[in-house]
Amino acid sequence: MADTICRTLRDGGLEGEHAPALTIKDSKASPFGFDVFNYVLTQLSNYILAGKSQSRGLVVVAYSRSPSFYVDLLKRRGIDIASSHDWIHILDCYTDPLGWKNWLIDKDISQEASSLSSFCQDVRNLDKLYSLIIEQGKGLIGQGKDRFSIAIDSVSEMVRHASISSVAGILSNLRSHDQVSSIFWLLHSDLHEIKFTSVLEYLSSMVASVEPFNQAAFGQRVDLENLSMLEQNFRKGKFHVRFKRRNGRVRVMVISMFLYFCGECADLLYRKSSYIYFTPLLV
């Protein structure tokens, strides 16, 4: 199911339509949204490098991790960093989000990451942020008909510095830009009121939720004190994905599975059950 999401982002949007948009949603009870975000990011990067994506470039808007983190992530996944200047740019909203560090920031990131990134030093100004994202995307693909994708690693961080309406506005404007192929972002849902989460879900064509599953395999409860560290990395959970269709219906896919999270990678080890159903789109 995660691959279905990645293929949808890979294929992009049709002429005259808004770009596909994915919300990855987690919570304190199941805090693995960033693992899913990293998986989607690396899969889309592979598609771009292989020339199999509508997108020809990727702009990563980094709020919760440094540019060095993403460079190291791509290198660990075997992605060619030597050619990365041609297809990826990291907009650094992490190192100096309010412009307090000024010239001290150079020592905070590696040389490789520095060559692939630029700073946004006032994340409160979303008009400027929008301009920077579009500028960096066009810098990768030029002024023609090619498109680029956007990854935002924390909309929750955006809301710390800007109003809900302005954050929703920039996401909507990015999705409707004619050179944006696809966009996805991470949301920590229990940090926000339901109305904000609902707004982001309404803006999205796909919503992927990492949800806890309260019981262990075979109906037994998990006793973490009696498990080894390796065994504690195994979790049974639900990966819940909702796809909006062009006809106004919503396809919902839910898979109950064991999850294994190790560092920055997430693998689905065992698929226990799944079901698909359709429901009218309610707004």
**Digit-coded pLDDT (tens) for 46-82:** 999 999 999 999 999 999 999 999 999 999 999 988 7
Residue extents of the structural domains in the chain = 1-216
DSSP letter at 142 equals -
Q: What is the pLDDT of residues 209-240, one digit of tens each?
A: 988 765 444 344 444 444 444 444 445 567 78
Fold designation for 1-216: Rossmann fold (3.40.50)
Kindly tell me the burial class for residue 174, based on how many C-beta atoms sit within 10 Å of its own C-beta (0-12, 13-18, 19 or more).
buried
**Residue 23 is inside which H or E element, if any?**
strand 21-26
Q: Helix H segments across 185-245? A: 194-203, 229-232
Q: What is the pLDDT of residues 154-202, one digit of tens each?
A: 999 999 999 999 999 999 999 999 999 999 999 999 898 899 999 999 9
Query: Is 277 within 8 Å of 250 (Cβ atoms)?
Result: no
Query: Is 105 within 8 Å of 67 (Cβ atoms)?
Result: no
Sequence-distant (6+) residues with CB within 8 A of 50 are none
The pLDDT value recorded for residue 1 is 64
pTM value is 0.84
In whole angstroms, give the CA distance from residue 223 to residue 30.
Answer: 17
**Residue 69 is inside which H or E element, if any?**
helix 67-76
Nearest to 45 by CA among 111, 91, 90: 90
